Amino acid sequence: MPRWTEIVSGLPATVPFVGPEAQERRMGRRFSARLGANESVFGPSPKAVEAMQKAAAGLWMYGDPESHDLRHALAQHHGIKAENIVVGEGIDGLLGTLVRLLVGPGTPVVTSDGAYPTFNYHVASVGGALTKVPYRDDAEDAQGLAKAAQSTNAALVYLANPDNPMGSWISAGQIAELISALPPDTLLCLDEAYCDFAPRGAIPPLDVTAENIVRMRTFSKGYGLAGARVGYAIGAETTIRAFEKIRNHFGMNRLAQIGALAALEDDPHLRSTIFRVRQSLANIGEIAGENGLRALPSATNFATIDCGRDGAFARALVAALAEAGVFVRMPFVAPQDRCIRISAGRPQDLKVLRDALPKALAAIR
């Protein structure tokens, strides 16, 4: 037997999410509407697709290990220096690197109970000690996170704003209060994957002088490049230099860098996507209301639907919708697991949902 580490030997063989492809293989058929992974069914910028197609013949070359062109374009986009940005394999990959920078066996880490599970997955892989703070009113509890960080002297605190899986958000002022309440050597990881959909006042101004915060963003949501796996972290130069010590320098796909750069330059497509997402979420809310369910306010590209019952009912509904050809997901932890989560879709996707939802509800009631 290989000599697995003690930590790995004690872990279950699990993944944070079961992909829709795995479910399709199990069912032996394709989903008619893929509305569960918070992807953008509206697709990437045509300019990004064209740029990647033109560059495909160059795939014999490795990607630029510095992601130079993309980093400098992002720096100009945000009005900061390229030294304040590191590009990685989506936020998931960057989270893994950040955890390895700060967390070892027994290191205290704070997150919300039911928050994005991939973060917990990375912490478990290095033996960190997770403290989980319950949500308050279906939103992240900033005060609770601060108190938990103080009581445990946490090295790292994770907060997604806007939030996954609930779609809720807290204000920039609340985040500032959280930062000021953290121990001086505690780092806040602010996951802003859904910042393109956030309302005014939710996203704090960038401050790249603060060494106790790193902010993560992605091309997977608003830019529609989830399959390309492009994310980036923004932070103080000292923080970003730490990433350089252990990151996978050749992990960035060459076409992904080129596509992300073209997508960043196509602001009209991003604005169009945001508009279409908002229209879609309004329609999902109408469909939910027609069936006695309630859509919660969302600052993301998905709608969280309160089923008004318990987790068992919500799980049954997710399964019934899958049987009807609609892929959706749900929060994992009570009481938020009374909900299901439906990503924004095209009119044809929502037609499938509109037809399937009443039948799925009838089947489980």
Q: What is the pLDDT of residues 153-181, one digit of tens each?
A: 999 999 999 999 999 999 999 999 999 99
Q: What pLDDT was estimated at residue 347? A: 98
Same domain, 195 and 296: no
pTM: 0.96
Rounded distance between C-alpha atoms, residue 263 and residue 250, angstroms? 21
Residue 237 has pLDDT above 90, yes or no: yes
Q: Provide φ and ψ at 157, rounded to 5°.
A: -125, 135
Cβ-proximal residues to 47 (8 Å cutoff; 6+ apart), any chain:
262, 263, 265, 266, 269
Asked if residue 1 belongs to a domain, the reply is no
Q: What pLDDT was estimated at residue 13? A: 87
Residue the block writes with tokens 């279906």: 138
Same domain, 234 and 328: no
Taking residues 141-161, what's their average pLDDT?
A: 98
List the domain range (segments joined by +) for residue 329. 6-43+268-364
In a 3-state reduction of DSSP, which class is residue 88? strand
Residue 119 has pLDDT above 90, yes or no: yes
Asked if residue 203 belongs to a domain, the reply is yes
Same domain, 67 and 190: yes
Same domain, 82 and 18: no
Taking residues 267-284, what's their average pLDDT?
A: 98
Same domain, 25 and 60: no
Same domain, 113 and 223: yes
Q: Is 51 left (phi over 0), alpha (psi -120 to 50) or beta?
A: alpha
Tokens of 348: 């044809």
How many structural domains compose the chain?
2
SS3 sequence of 288-330:
HHHCCCEECCCCCCEEEEECCCCHHHHHHHHHHHHHCCEECEC
Q: What pLDDT was estimated at residue 15? A: 80
Residue 257 has pLDDT above 90, yes or no: yes
- Of 210, 234, 266, which marks where a domain is finished? 266
Taking residues 229-236, what's their average pLDDT?
A: 98
Taking residues 334-356, what's their average pLDDT?
A: 98
Tell me if 234 sits within 8 A of 206, measured CB to CB: yes
Query: What CA–CA distances, in Å, run from 35 to 204, 231, 271, 275?
Result: 30, 22, 21, 18
Residue 241 has pLDDT above 90, yes or no: yes
Confidence of residue 1 (pLDDT cuts 50, 70, 90): confident
- Of 232, 266, 300, which marks where a domain is finished? 266
Same domain, 192 and 257: yes
Asked if residue 320 belongs to a domain, the reply is yes
The mean predicted confidence, pLDDT, of the chain is 97
Confidence of residue 71 (pLDDT cuts 50, 70, 90): very high
Same domain, 16 and 162: no
Same domain, 287 and 155: no
Q: What CATH number is given to the structural domain containing 308?
A: 3.90.1150.10
Rounded distance between C-alpha atoms, residue 133 and residue 155, angstroms? 16
Same domain, 337 and 217: no
Helix H segments across 103-253?
117-125, 142-152, 172-181, 237-246
Q: What pLDDT was estimated at residue 14? A: 82
Asked if residue 25 belongs to a domain, the reply is yes
- Of 243, 266, 289, which marks where a domain is finished? 266
Confidence of residue 365 (pLDDT cuts 50, 70, 90): confident
Q: What CATH number is given to the structural domain containing 262?
A: 3.40.640.10
Q: What pLDDT was estimated at residue 16? A: 82
Report pLDDT digits (tens) over 5-49.
Answer: 999 999 988 888 889 999 999 999 999 999 999 999 999 999 999
Confidence of residue 63 (pLDDT cuts 50, 70, 90): very high
Report pLDDT digits (tens) over 284-335.
Answer: 999 999 999 999 999 999 999 999 999 999 999 999 999 999 999 999 999 9
Taking residues 268-275, what's their average pLDDT?
A: 98
Q: What pLDDT was estimated at residue 42? A: 97
